[in-house]
Amino acid sequence: MIPHSERRDHRQERAERMTVRVNPIVRPRLLDLFCGAGGAGEGYARAGFDVTGVDLADMPRNPHGFIQADALEYLEAHGHEYDAIHASPPCQGYSRLKAMHPDKGWPLLIEPTRELLKATGKPYVIENVEGAPLHHYSDLFGNHGVMLCGSMFGLGVERGYLRRHRLFETSFPVPQPACRHQGRAVGVYAHGGHSGKHRMLYRAEAAEALQIDWMTRDEMCQAIPPAYTEYIGRAMLRAMRANKPKLRGGVSRPSGAPCWALRNTGERQWKSSRRN
Ligand SMILES: C[S@@+](CC[C@H](N)C(=O)[O-])C[C@H]1O[C@@H](n2cnc3c(N)ncnc32)[C@H](O)[C@@H]1O
């Protein structure tokens, strides 16, 4: 006869196995590189991801899982442990700031980040400012990209719409919405006063315009409005569900190969089957 204590163990084991089997709500894990205080990460969380951020600086207000580390080193060592990856490399080296301070050596991290992201084979997103070397349109070679603006999501305050254009290169297709610029543009900038014709917002208005209430104003200056990454995250989830095996890291034309070289790849077949 089985002793009472062993029977209890057996029942416990069975209960644990059943718990695993009947719990269908497993959120896919998203790695948010260069996460800052978590604007981009928050959008992915709203879309349904379990988010872990990585930043060189400590980010006590980031509301998601957080690891303080160099993003590229962490990506190389741990990227494969996640289901999807977002990266917001520093933008100063690609922005108008660079022209104003040509002597400053801003790091240019988009290329090395892209290489490491592709090597993981996971679906990925790279975000940056206008002018950065990102794909910002979809083509026939497995490159995808969109430009997002606050006006597409009704973001702003009573006195103006939020004009914060950001590029997103993605390894999966995302529909490009149209800008709906109407009336006055407002923005959240690091310096005082105006930025050209765009009126600047102070903290309370900035929080309302970005739909972010947990950051300092300085952190808001750098943040992606969560509405943007919620939109991207939903497209990523749709693509992951519809076509999981074909999402591996995007497909790019081998250097030097003619444009028809990808004609028979899975990516091309996938695009045409989605169109039908
Ligand atoms: C544009 S901000 C990110 C904003 C964030 N995506 C958001 O939506 O709130 C860029 C961040 O990259 C971080 N950073 C810069 N170089 C880094 C590196 N090598 N590794 C990790 N983080 C880095 C900075 O500390 C900064 O917080």
The whole-number pLDDT of residue 237 equals 97
Q: What is the pLDDT of residues 154-177, one digit of tens each?
A: 999 988 899 899 999 999 999 999
Provide the H-helix boundaries in 162-252: 203-210, 217-222, 226-243
Say how far apart CA 48 and CA 209 lie, in whole Å: 23
75 C-alpha vs ligand 1 centroid, how far in Å?
A: 14
185 C-alpha vs ligand 1 centroid, how far in Å?
A: 26
Counts of helices then strands in the chain (DSSP H, E): 9, 11
- Average pLDDT of 219-224? 94
Mutate to test the pocket of ligand 1, among 44, 55, 91, 216 (most ligand atoms within 8 A of CB): 55
Look up the pTM and report it. 0.79
Q: What is the pLDDT of residues 106-115, one digit of tens each?
A: 788 999 999 9
- CATH entry, 27-248, from 2.60.40.420, 3.40.50.150, 3.40.50.970, 3.40.50.300: 3.40.50.150
Q: How far is CA 175 from CA 10, 34, 57, 169, 232, in A?
A: 51, 25, 34, 12, 9
Any idea where the domains of the chain sit in the sequence?
27-248
Mutate to test the pocket of ligand 1, among 31, 56, 58 (most ligand atoms within 8 A of CB): 56
The whole-number pLDDT of residue 201 equals 81
The residue type at 262: L
Kindly tell me if the per-residue pLDDT of 261 is higher than 90: no
Burial of 252 (0-12, 13-18, 19+ CB in 10 A): middle
State the average pLDDT for the chain.
80
* Phi and psi at residue 4, to the nearest 5°: -55, -45
90 C-alpha vs ligand 1 centroid, how far in Å?
A: 6
In this structure, of 87-91, 209-213, 222-226, 260-264, the range with the lowest mean pLDDT score is 260-264
